[in-house]
Structure 1
Amino acid sequence: MWCTSCALAVEGALARLPGVVQASVHYPTATVWVNGTPASTQLAALAPVVTRLGYRLSELEPVHDAQQRLAKESRYLSLRLIVGAVLGMWTMLASLLIYAGALPNAAIELVVAWVAGAFSLPVVLYSGLPFYRAGWRTLLAQRPGMDVLVSLGVLGAMVVSVGLLLRGSSEVYFDTAVMLIVLLLVGRLVETLCRQRGLKAFDALRLPEADVVVCQGGQRDTQPVGEVAIGAVIEVPPGEQVPLDGLLDTPGWLDTATLTGESVPRYLHAGQRVYAGCRYAARLNAAPLKVIVTATVGQRRMDKLCEQMRRAQAKKGELHKLADRFASWLSPVALLLAVLTLPLGLLMGLGLEDAAVRALSVLVVACPCAVGLAVPLASLAGTSQALQQGIALRDPSAFETLANVRGIAFDKTGTLTRGQHQVVNAALRQSEDLTQFRAMLSSAVSQSEHPLASGLRDWASTVETAAPSNVLHNVQHIEEHPGKGQQVTFQNAEQWWLGSAVWIEQQLGAPLPDSAHQPDNAFASQVVVADSHGWLATLYCADQPVSDATASLAELKRSGYIVALISGDRQGPVGWLGQQVGLANNACYAQRSPEAKAALLKALPSPTLYVGDGVNDTLSLAEAGVGVVPMQASDAAREGAAAQLLRPGVSGVVCLLSLAKRTRRVMMQNLVFSALYNTLALGLVIIMAVPPLAAVLAMAASSFSVTLNAARLAWSEPSKTSDIPAPDPNAPHSTSPTAGQSLPTV
C-alpha cells in the first residue's frame, strides 16, 4: 500500500463484502483485520477483491519478510526521490530565475519556462507514477483520498502551465508539480523508515532457527527446528538458547535475560516448563540440557505473542477511527470545493488563469495525509517503545484507555509476590543447636516437592551454617502424608515429623507448647517440626514481594492512582504483604472469589487496570478497562490480557502507564494539528489567492510535522535505568490511604 488512502480503499472494498461485519486495515503494518462469517473471512474470498484494486492480499507475513518488504519500498522510494530531486532542481532553478526577474527579456524567459517544463516531465511521469496508480485504485474502490488530490494537483499544474506556454506566458507552475511530488516522496520515505523502526521492535521476539539435536531411541539425530514434533526430546548445548517450548527432562540453570532482562539465572527442576528463548546457563563442558517438546515452531509462546500483537495492530482505537472518518470526508469535500472554485472564481470576475490557479491550490492544500497518519504512526511508535521496555502490548488501542486509567488493582500471589515462600522467622526449642538443626532440616526436605520445601531448603542451606556433607545426607527413610506432613527417619534412627500443627499434635498425642505459637507471625504459613522428645521448632514461611513492588506502588500512588490489592488468600498474608509494599489496610482485600474480585474492580474509579496472573484472575482481566499479566502468568490469563510484562516484577506497569500518556499526547497533538490545518487551509485558499507552491509547502509541512512528532516517540531511546526510585529500607511503610483516595467497601 502506498498511503492511508490505499488502506481506506481496501478497507471499504472488504467491508462491502457479504458476510463481513467489519474490516480494519492498518497502514503502517500493512495488515487487515476482518470480522465476519467463517466463509467470508477466508483468504480465498477476500484476496480477489483486493486484487481487483491492484493490491495483493496474503497470509500474515513473518516479521523478517515484512522488514525486507519495507526495505524494498525504501529503495523504491529512494530511486524515485533521486530522480525527482536531481531533475526537479533544474525546474526549480529555472522557475526561480523567472520569478526573480533575473533574465534579460521575455523571449529568454519563455525559453527558460519551456526548459523548466522539459525537466519536470521525468519527475511527473516517473517519480509521480505511484501517486497516479494509488489514486486510480482508490477511485475504483469508491474511496477517493489523498492520492486523487495529489494526482489532480500535479495534472492541473501541468495543464495550466502548458496552456500558459502556448499563450506565450512564462508564468508557469511546473515547479508546483515537481515540489508536490518531491516533498511527498520525502514524506513517504520518512514514513517507511518509521514503519521499519516499529517492526524492528519485534526482533526482541525472534527465536533461533538453527538445527537441533533430537534424541530418539537412544540415538541422536540432527533436524531443522521447524521439523521437530511434539513429544520429541531435544538437546540444548551449554550457552545456547532453547529453540522450542517444552518440559525439562533434566534440571539446569536457565538464563532468561534474552527475553525478560532478568540478570540472575534460575534453577529449574525436571518437569518444569521452559520457553523458547531462554539460554542454558551452564559451564561449557556440562552435559546438554534435555527438553521434551510441547510446542513446535509457530506455536511457541513467543510466536503466538508476536502474531497476536501484529494482528491486534490492525484493530483501531477511537482516535484512529475518528481520524479515518475525518480523512474520508475531507477528500470528497476538497474535490467538490475545487470543482466549485473554478466557476465561482469566474463569476467573481477572476480571469481563467487566476480561477484555475485558485482551484489548483484547493486541491493541493486539502491533501489529508497528515490526518491519516496522525494516530497510526503514533500508535506504532508507542507499541515499539513498549516492547523495547519489556512490555508486549497485544492491543495497541488500549493506549487510549491506559492514558485515562484512575484505579489500579493487583492480584497477590505471583503478581506482587514471587510465588516462592521464604522463612521469615523460626522458633526453636531451648538449648537446640541451630547449625545442627539446619543441617538435618536440609536433609529432611531435600527431596520434598511441597510448595514450602524450597523456602525451607534455602533457609537451611545458608553458607554460614552449612554442615559437612557427611551430615547432610543421613536420611534413611521418608514417609509422606499428603496434605498433612512427612515422617523422616535418619540413619542414626532418630525420627522427625514435619507438617501442620494439628497433624503434629496428633502424632505427639499432646498439644504443642505455647512457645510453638507466635501471634505476631500469624500471617505466615507454619511448618512445625517435632522429634521423639516433642516439639522441636516452628518455622514461619511467607511469600515475599517482588523486588520492585514497594517502589512501583509508591510511584503509582504519587501519580494520583488509586491502588488496591485484591486476593483470594487469607487476611493475614494479604495484610502483611500490603504492609510490606506500603498499602493501607483498607486498600487490601482478602478471601475474595473471582466474582468478588470483579465486583471490587467495578467499584474502583474507572477506567480501571487489573494486574493478575492466574486462572482465577481471568474474569477480572476481562472486566477491567485494561488487563495486564506478569511474566509468568498462566495461559488463560494471558489470553484475556491486553498487555504482558516480559520482565520480572511490576515496574513495567508504571512504564506502561507513563508511555500510554506520552503516546496519547502525541496522538492528540497530531490529530488536532492536522485537523486544524486542513480545515483552516481550505477556508484560506477559497477566500484569497494562495500560490500553488505555497500550498504545496504548507501541505508538506503538516505531513512532516505529524510524521516527525511520531518519530520523536519512536526513536527516543528507552531509559537505561528504571525511572522508579529504589526503595529505602529504613523508610516506614505507609499504613494510611493517600490523600484524596477513596476505596470501595464491597
Structure 2
Amino acid sequence: MPQIQFQIKGMTCQACANRIEKVLNKKDFVQAASVNFASETAQIHFDDTQTSPEQLIQIIEKTGFQAALPTSSTLPENPTPQSTWRVWALLALTAPFMLGMVGMLFGSHALMPPLWVQIVLATVAQTYFALPFYRGAWASLRAGAANMDVLVTLGTSAIFVYSLAMSANGVHHVYFEAGVMVLAFVSLGKHWEAKTKRGSLNALGALLQLTPKEVLVYKNENWQTVPLNQIQKGDVLRGVHGTRVAADGEVIAGEAWADESHLTGESQPVHKTIGNKVLAGSVLSGSVDYRAESLGADTLLGDMAAALAQAQGSKAPMARLADKVAAVFVPVVVVVALLAFVFNFIVLGDFQAALMRGVAVLVVACPCALGLATPAAMMAGMGVAVQRGVWFKDAAALESAGAVQAVVLDKTGTLTQGKPEVVGIWCAENISEKQLFELTVAVERHSAHPLAQAIVQAASKTEEMLDFELENVNTVAGEGMVAQIKSQGEIRIGTPEFCGFRLPETLLSQNHWANSSIVAVSLNHQTLGAFALADTLKNDSCAAVQKLRQHHEVYIVSGDHAATVHHIAQQIGLPEHNAHGNCQPRQKVEFIQKLKQKNQTIAMVGDGINDAPALALADVGFAVRGSTDIAEHSANAVLVRPSVAALADGLHIARQTVGVMKQNLFFALIYNVLGIPLAAMGYLTPVLAGAMMALSSVSVLGNALRLKRMK
C-alpha cells in the first residue's frame, strides 16, 4: 500500500494526535495511521483504489484540524512559524493584574485594577483570545474525545462565570486575574513549545538551509547569477571559496576542499579536483566549476531531508505507552477535578476555595508533556544521527538500536576496504620489481578479475613501464592466465601451481603472505616472482571496534576464508572465537538466531546481497550506503559513511536518545502524579497551575535538546 505524509496544524496536545489516529484507523481503506504530536505530521498507509489524499484530508479536517498535502517543491517543506502577536497581546492584558498581585504580596490591594477594568480585561481575554481554546475543545468533543483545550476551557470559563456572578451580586472577592493569567501562561507555554519544535529541535529546518538561494551558472557564454530553482541538470555551475555547493555533480575545472560533514559525519574536508564528485550543501575552500547531475530531492541532501522527515514522523514503541495514557487522561482528570471540588466543598464548606482547587486540578493536569516526552527526544536524536551520517528509517529502529547488546559485522567492505590491494611483492634472482610489474601488467590489463585490476592499479603508481605485444591471451578458469609475448615466450600468471613453482617457506610464514591471495608469475616455466594481495583494513576499523566493545559484544561473520577472517580479528583485537569465516547467507541467519535465543538485542552490518537475510532478521540492520539495493531495503538504518566508526556513533546516539526518552517519561508522569494532589489540596492556585503546565512541556523539550550537544 502507498504511504503519504501530511503536515497537521491545530494540535494542542497528545490527545489531539490520538483522536486523529483513532478516526483514521477506523477506516477500512487505511492500513495504518500514525500521528506524531512533536513533528506535527501524520503518516498514513492507505488503499489508493478506495480513497485519495484529498479524501484523507477531508477526514482529518472533520476531526477539527488542518492537513496539508505534500508540496511539489524539490525538498521537504520547513514548517512556517506561527504568529506570536496573540501571545504578547495576551501577556499585555495580564500586566495590570501582575502589578496588583505584587501589591498583594505586601498586604495591599491598592494596586489591583478597579473592578470594571478587571471585568473588561477578563472579557476581552475570555471572548477573543480564548477562542482557539474554545474551537479546539468543541472540535474535540464533537469527535467524541477530549483534549487539553477542554481542560483549559472548563477551568477558565468556570472562573470567569463565577467572578461575573459575584460581581453582579456586589461581592468584590473575585478571581478575574486567575482566568486571564492561566490563558496567558498556557499560550506562552504553547508558543515556546512550537518555537522549540520548529526551531532548535528540528534538524530538518537546518538541513533545508544548506543549499544556496542563488548560484553562478554558465549560460550564453558568460557567468550569470540565477535562483537555484532555475537550475537544470547538465548546467555548469561555479562554486567559489566559502560558498555551498548547489547540486550533486562532477568537477570539470579547478580544485577545492569540501566540508561534507553534514552528509557523512566525516569531520575532515575532502579534496576535490577534476573528475571528483561534489555534494549539495558542501562548503568549499577553493573554487571549482562543476556539472549539475542531481538537483533538489534527487541529491544526497534531498534524500537525507526526505528520510529525516519520514523518520521523525514515525513513532517509537515506547511512545505507545504514553499514547495509551494520554487517550484516557483528559476524561479522568475531569472526573478527578469534580471529585476534588465536591470533596473540598463538603470538608471546607467554602464554595470559592472548592472551585479554585477544582480549577487548579483541571489546569495543572495536561497531557502535553506526556505526549512530547518520547517524540521530542526522538526528533533530536534522529537529527544528531543524520548529522553524523546515520539514517534511521523510523523511530522503532532507533529505539531498538539503543538497546543493542551484540553487534555482528560483515568483513568485506565493512571492516576492510572491500577490494584487494598489493601488500607484498617477491622477485626471483636477477628480476627487478619494475620488470615483474611490466610483464605482469602486460597480461593482467586484459582481465577484469579484481586481483588483476589491483595489480594494474598498483603498477600505475610506479615509473613508466615498457609495453609488450601479446598473442593468444587465454584464461584458465580458477587457475590464471596464459599468453605469448613476442620474442620472449609463454608467460603464466595465476596460482603458484599453475605457474609451476612453490614460494619459499620462509616467505609463506610471514603474516601478510600467509593470509593473502597469491598471484605468481613465470616466463617459459622460469620463476619471475609473486604478488601478495589482501583486502586491507580501513584506517579507523581498529579504533571503532574497540569503541564498540566498550558497550557491546562484537562478532565477525563473513563468507571469506576462516584463516583470513581470524587474521582480521587479530588485527583489530577481537578474540578468535568471535570471528567466523566460510559462512553462507543461511549460516549468518542461523548465527543471529542463536544470539537472539539468548535474549540479546542484535545489530547486523552488511553491504551485499548475501547479507540481506541477516539484516532483515537482526533487531537493527545497518546497510552501508551504496551497497546492493536489497541490502539497503532489508536494513533498518543506513550508514552514509562506509565505516564502523559511523556505526559506533549511531549506536551511541541511539543509547543516549533512549535514555532521554525514559527521563522525559519520568518527568512527565511525576509532574502529574505530584501536581494533581497538590492542586486538589489547595497548595497550587490556578495561576501557579497554569505556569507549571507550561513549564512541564518546556522542561521536556529542554531535556531533549541536550541531545543536540552530545559529543
TM-score, normalised via structure 1 length:
0.81
In structure 2, C-alpha distance between the alignment counterparts of 1:516 and 1:440, rounded to whole Å: 25
Offset from partner CA, 1:108-157 (integer Å, 9 cap, x none): 96x63432343344444444333333222222222211121112222222
Q: 1:686 aligns with which of 670, 680, 685?
A: 680
Is the contact made by 2:565 and 2:580 (CA closer than 8 Å) also made in structure 1? yes
In structure 1, C-alpha distance between the alignment counterparts of 2:205 and 2:684, rounded to whole Å: 45
Q: How far off is 1:429 after superposition?
A: 0.4
Spell out the pairing of 1:360-375 with structure 2 (5 A cutoff): 360-375=359-374
Offset from partner CA, 1:567-593 (integer Å, 9 cap, x none): 111112212211111111111111111
Offset from partner CA, 1:469-503 (integer Å, 9 cap, x none): 4xx2534448654555455777x844674632168
Query: Match for residue 665 of structure 2?
Result: 671
Query: Match for residue 698 of structure 1?
Result: 692
Q: How far off is 1:626 after superposition?
A: 0.8
Spell out the pairing of 1:24-103 with structure 2 (5 A cutoff): 24-39=34-49, 42-61=52-71, 66-67=77-78, 69-71=79-81, 73=82, 76=83, 78-98=84-104, 100-103=106-109
Is the contact made by 2:496 and 2:520 (CA closer than 8 Å) also made in structure 1? no
Query: Match for residue 738 of structure 1?
Result: none
Q: Helix, strand or coil for the counterpart of 1:647?
A: coil
Offset from partner CA, 1:515-569 (integer Å, 9 cap, x none): 697254232112222224622111111111111111111122222x111001111
Query: Match for residue 136 of structure 1?
Result: 138
Is the contact made by 1:236 and 1:280 (CA closer than 8 Å) also made in structure 2? no
Query: Match for residue 508 of structure 2?
Result: 518
Question: Which deviates more from structure 2 when the two are superposed, residues 656-665 or residues 29-38?
Answer: 29-38
In structure 1, C-alpha distance between the alignment counterparts of 2:77 and 2:314, rounded to whole Å: 18
In structure 2, C-alpha distance between the alignment counterparts of 1:151 and 1:226, rounded to whole Å: 46
In structure 1, C-alpha distance between the alignment counterparts of 2:105 and 2:239, rounded to whole Å: 73
Query: Match for residue 222 of structure 2?
Result: none
Matched, 1:11 2:25: no
Spell out the pairing of 1:182-331 with structure 2 (5 A cutoff): 182-195=184-197, 196-201=199-204, 203-204=206-207, 241=245, 243=247, 257=260, 259-262=263-266, 263=268, 265=270, 277=280, 298=297, 302-331=301-330
Q: Helix, strand or coil for the counterpart of 2:337?
A: helix
Alpha-carbon spacing, 1:378–1:600, altered in 2? closer, same or farther (3 Å): same
Spell out the pairing of 1:149-548 with structure 2 (5 A cutoff): 149-195=151-197, 196-201=199-204, 203-204=206-207, 241=245, 243=247, 257=260, 259-262=263-266, 263=268, 265=270, 277=280, 298=297, 302-348=301-347, 350-438=349-437, 449-462=448-461, 466-467=462-463, 469=464, 472=465, 474-477=467-470, 481-482=474-475, 483=477, 485-486=480-481, 493-494=487-488, 497=491, 499-501=493-495, 504-505=498-499, 510-512=500-502, 514=504, 518-520=508-510, 521-532=513-524, 534-548=526-540
In structure 1, C-alpha distance between the alignment counterparts of 2:132 and 2:245, rounded to whole Å: 44
Q: Helix, strand or coil for the counterpart of 1:499?
A: strand
**Aligned-residue identity in percent:** 26
Query: Match for residue 596 of structure 1?
Result: 587
Q: Helix, strand or coil for the counterpart of 1:592?
A: coil
Q: How far off is 1:380 after superposition?
A: 0.6
In structure 1, C-alpha distance between the alignment counterparts of 2:155 and 2:429, rounded to whole Å: 95
Q: How far off is 1:10 after superposition?
A: 1.9
Tell me the number of residue pairs that the alignment of Structure 1 and Structure 2 aligns.
683
Q: 2:638 aligns with which of 634, 644, 656?
A: 644
Query: Match for residue 739 of structure 1?
Result: none
Q: Helix, strand or coil for the counterpart of 2:67?
A: coil
Q: How far off is 1:9 after superposition?
A: 2.5
Alpha-carbon spacing, 1:39–1:497, altered in 2? closer, same or farther (3 Å): same
In structure 2, C-alpha distance between the alignment counterparts of 1:585 and 1:370, rounded to whole Å: 49
Question: Which deviates more from structure 2 when the two are superposed, residues 331-340 or residues 402-411?
Answer: 331-340
In structure 1, C-alpha distance between the alignment counterparts of 2:306 and 2:556, rounded to whole Å: 32
Q: How far off is 1:32 after superposition?
A: 1.1
Query: Match for residue 570 of structure 2?
Result: 579
Question: What are the ranges of 5 or more consecutive residues in structure 2 without an aligned counterpart?
Answer: 1-9, 220-224
In structure 1, C-alpha distance between the alignment counterparts of 2:683 and 2:516, rounded to whole Å: 80
Query: Match for residue 723 of structure 1?
Result: none
Offset from partner CA, 1:269-325 (integer Å, 9 cap, x none): 99x9x796498999979xx7778x6x7864555544433332233321222111111
Alpha-carbon spacing, 1:513–1:424, altered in 2? closer, same or farther (3 Å): closer
Alpha-carbon spacing, 1:281–1:679, altered in 2? closer, same or farther (3 Å): closer
In structure 2, C-alpha distance between the alignment counterparts of 1:499 and 1:333, rounded to whole Å: 82
In structure 2, C-alpha distance between the alignment counterparts of 1:712 and 1:592, rounded to whole Å: 42
Matched, 1:2 2:11: yes
Is the contact made by 2:377 and 2:660 (CA closer than 8 Å) also made in structure 1? yes
In structure 2, C-alpha distance between the alignment counterparts of 1:629 and 1:357, rounded to whole Å: 58
Alpha-carbon spacing, 1:149–1:235, altered in 2? closer, same or farther (3 Å): same
Is the contact made by 1:420 and 1:454 (CA closer than 8 Å) also made in structure 2? no
CA RMSD of aligned residues (A): 4.0
Is the contact made by 1:497 and 1:504 (CA closer than 8 Å) also made in structure 2? no
In structure 2, C-alpha distance between the alignment counterparts of 1:224 and 1:440, rounded to whole Å: 56
Alpha-carbon spacing, 1:576–1:79, altered in 2? closer, same or farther (3 Å): same
Q: Which amino acid aligns with 1:159?
A: V
Q: How far off is 1:37 after superposition?
A: 3.5
Q: Which amino acid aligns with 2:98?
A: M
Alpha-carbon spacing, 1:380–1:480, altered in 2? closer, same or farther (3 Å): farther
Q: How far off is 1:608 after superposition?
A: 0.6
Q: Which amino acid aligns with 2:12?
A: C
Is the contact made by 1:260 and 1:390 (CA closer than 8 Å) also made in structure 2? yes
Is the contact made by 2:440 and 2:493 (CA closer than 8 Å) also made in structure 1? no
Alpha-carbon spacing, 1:445–1:430, altered in 2? closer, same or farther (3 Å): same
Alpha-carbon spacing, 1:371–1:456, altered in 2? closer, same or farther (3 Å): same
Q: Helix, strand or coil for the counterpart of 1:418?
A: coil
Q: Which amino acid aligns with 1:90?
A: P
Q: Helix, strand or coil for the counterpart of 1:628?
A: strand
Offset from partner CA, 1:241-290 (integer Å, 9 cap, x none): 584689x999x9996836325547589999x9x796498999979xx777
Q: Which amino acid aligns with 1:395?
A: D
Question: Which deviates more from structure 2 when the two are superposed, residues 204-213 or residues 691-700?
Answer: 204-213
Is the contact made by 2:374 and 2:664 (CA closer than 8 Å) also made in structure 1? yes
Is the contact made by 1:254 and 1:279 (CA closer than 8 Å) also made in structure 2? no
Question: Which deviates more from structure 2 when the two are superposed, residues 446-455 or residues 158-167?
Answer: 446-455
Q: How far off is 1:710 after superposition?
A: 1.4
Alpha-carbon spacing, 1:452–1:683, altered in 2? closer, same or farther (3 Å): same
Is the contact made by 1:362 and 1:685 (CA closer than 8 Å) also made in structure 2? yes
Is the contact made by 1:207 and 1:276 (CA closer than 8 Å) also made in structure 2? no
Query: Match for residue 701 of structure 2?
Result: 707
Is the contact made by 1:564 and 1:587 (CA closer than 8 Å) also made in structure 2? yes
In structure 1, C-alpha distance between the alignment counterparts of 2:120 and 2:89, rounded to whole Å: 14
Q: How far off is 1:406 after superposition?
A: 0.8
Query: Match for residue 565 of structure 1?
Result: 556
Matched, 1:618 2:628: no
